[in-house]
């Protein structure tokens, strides 16, 4: 293995490590408190690997949600991946055996790290991207496992820990609001969320709100004042971590993230 590439990939992934370990720990503790042990935390983080969906999943498991509800929620919560992943098609085209895993591991944060397309001079760019993806996945799994273990040995109240995801999205939303010159997507998300919460109630507003946000932004797409390239670039950002440097996201992501995290805390 090329040690230079390995070192570069690790250094590249360090900003994500801080957020993933902390948030993953919170997820593991919350899952443990809901009655699901280490095996569940490990399996969910290995095979689902979607921070916001995993937090929402804890609530769905605890509430005994139906399979259809789980499928629809998963699609709506992660639908934004369809938008920003488009810009990586050409970059991943020649990834060879790494491609399936790199597609699976393309979270908001990994996208933020790799979207610039840079790689160490003289290294295999695809192998470098694979390593960055793998490191980030390992951080999230490690945090989840750590949280599950800590949940059994540390005597502290976990009340309110589910709000960590809400706080994360609010931070990303605020950063996008301050940096963006067009607040239409943000206002659309806020108003659509408020309307759906009033109409459908706190336990059922998530999917209707995201459908309404998607529909409205689709209709207004031609009017949105977005810089060139930001349509596909912007959707990345805050699912599993709202770190500085990741606030170049579509405000629709932040707006859509707020209802999904309120669902967790509901």
With a cut of 50, list the residues of the chain below it in pLDDT: 225-266
Instruction: Please tell me the predicted confidence (pLDDT) of residue 224.
Output: 59
SS3 label, residue 150: helix
Which tens digits make up the pLDDT trace of 64-86? 878 888 888 888 778 778 777 87
| Element counts in the chain: helices (H) and strands (E) | 14, 0
pTM reported for the whole predicted model? 0.66
Burial of 106-127, coded b for 16+ CB within 10 Å and e otherwise, reads: bbbbbbbbbbeeebbeebbbbb
Instruction: Please tell me the predicted confidence (pLDDT) of residue 172.
Output: 60
What are the distances in angstroms from CA 171 to CA 88, 165, 190, 227?
Answer: 26, 10, 15, 22
Instruction: Please tell me the predicted confidence (pLDDT) of residue 115.
Output: 81
Which tens digits make up the pLDDT trace of 206-251? 778 878 887 887 888 776 544 434 443 444 333 343 333 333 333 3
Instruction: Please tell me the predicted confidence (pLDDT) of residue 240.
Output: 40
The answer to whether 136 and 108 have CB atoms below 8 angstroms apart is: no
Instruction: Please tell me the predicted confidence (pLDDT) of residue 117.
Output: 81
Instruction: Please tell me the predicted confidence (pLDDT) of residue 241.
Output: 38
Instruction: Please tell me the predicted confidence (pLDDT) of residue 250.
Output: 37
């Amino acid at each position: 293995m090329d040690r230079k590439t390995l070192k570069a990939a690790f250094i590249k992934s360090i900003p994500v490590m801080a957020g993933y370990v902390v948030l993953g720990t919170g997820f593991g503790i919350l899952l443990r408190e809901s009655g699901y042990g280490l095996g569940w935390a490990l399996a969910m983080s290995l095979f689902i690997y979607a921070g916001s969906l995993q937090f929402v999943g804890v609530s769905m498991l605890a509430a005994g949600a139906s399979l259809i509800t789980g499928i629809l929620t998963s699609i709506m919560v992660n639908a934004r991946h369809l938008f920003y992943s488009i810009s990586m098609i050409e970059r991943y085209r020649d990834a060879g055996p790494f491609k399936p895993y790199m597609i699976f591991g393309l979270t908001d944060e990994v996208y933020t790290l790799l979207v610039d397309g840079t790689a160490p001079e003289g290294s295999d760019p695809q192998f470098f991207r694979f390593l960055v993806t793998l490191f980030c996945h390992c951080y999230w799994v490690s945090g989840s496992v750590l949280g599950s273990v800590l949940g059994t040995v540390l005597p502290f109240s976990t009340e309110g820990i589910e709000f960590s995801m809400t706080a994360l999205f609010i931070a990303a939303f605020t950063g996008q609001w301050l940096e963006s010159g067009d607040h239409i997507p943000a206002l659309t998300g806020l108003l659509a969320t408020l309307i759906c919460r009033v109409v459908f109630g706190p336990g059922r507003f998530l999917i209707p709100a995201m459908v309404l946000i998607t529909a409205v932004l689709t209709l207004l797409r031609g009017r949105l004042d977005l810089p060139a390239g930001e349509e596909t670039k912007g959707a990345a950002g805050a699912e599993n971590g709202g770190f500085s440097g990741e606030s170049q996201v579509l405000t629709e992501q932040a707006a859509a993230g707020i209802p999904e995290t309120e669902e967790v805390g509901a």
